[in-house]
Amino acid sequence: MQNKVLIIYTGGTIGMVQGKDGSLHPFALEGIYQAVPQLEMCDYKIDSCQLENIIDSSNMTPKVWVDIAEIIEREYQHYDGFLVLHGTDTMAYTASALSFMLENLGKPVVLTGSQLPLGMLRSDGRENIISALEIVAGKELMIPEVCVFFENRLYRGNRSTKVSAENFDAFKSYNYPSLAKVGITMTYKKHLIMPQPEGALKVWKQFDEHIAVLKLFPGITKELVDSILHTPGLKGAIIEAYGSGNALTEEWFINSLQDAIHRGIVLIDVTQCKAGSVKLRQYAASCDMERIGVISGHDITIEAAVTKMMHVLGNYGSDAERVRKMLETPLRGEMEG
């Protein structure tokens, strides 16, 4: 029986045309098929749909994540895999969010896009779409993960991050190897891919957006730190620290964090470095963070940390002990165990 794939178009550069003002705007899904006639040669059935309001991915919100997840939930039994066409700017956030939303995912959900619109001669979008569809169709291997495919590499979605606004190889996964490489042949690294789940798909749709990101820098002031940590309604904050999780050791800073924790705000320590991991207590500069109860984010990306915190707080926010345990524990392969 012929495999079936559903393309979900959300907007982004891959489906944009140049407007009269010279700027790029998203256009309707039909234009993608005109730009990629090779799709007619595929030996699997391709259907498509698009969000009610296609957007530039800079306007991505948790509500749109839910819209995408609900399409997958509704059509899950009808297709062998799903290809999400998405803008590159927030693609890693959406991939991470979907990974937490789609528990017991047993089919490939792959996000791809392009750096140049399909309507341009040198667009990288055609090859990204064609190769990603081959993966999504699952004829060689059924990958039970949310992934990002870009410029011949397949990455675990919640391990990916955008690293370039100019190069075609715009994404990297610094702390986890790629899952597949596409050349003349497709080479899958099967030992790195998540196992097939035993349970049925469960879709989590709640996010708590009352979080903040506190990025440290030399000269950061008490006023700035306190203003962020006293944001009305704040429930969690991600501290982008130095190196292996190090932060300033001044008394006012530690006291500000400790006060936030006493007020019930969850704090996670992640590194500003693209590669590497938080290792609390490796240096004296992180000992106080561990002592007062800041959670180690290990080697999680900022995109996965943000979406995981919103997911966990949204679904388990009333259970402080469970929230902490889930934030410390890998849920979908997003960080080291």
Residues that are catalytic: 13
Bridge partner residues of 38 (DSSP): none
| Angle, helices 91-101/302-316, rounded to nearest 10 degrees | 40
Measured CA to CA, the distance from residue 92 to residue 258 in angstroms comes to 31
Token readout for 128 is 């990204």
Distance CA 176, CA 282 (A): 22
Among 189, 242, 191, 245, CA closest to 220: 242
Distances (CA, A) of 40 to 34, 45, 100, 130: 11, 9, 34, 11
| DSSP codes joined into one string, 240-274 | EEBTTTB----HHHHHHHHHHHHTT-EEEEEESSS
Nearest-angstrom CA–CA distance, 64 and 60:
6
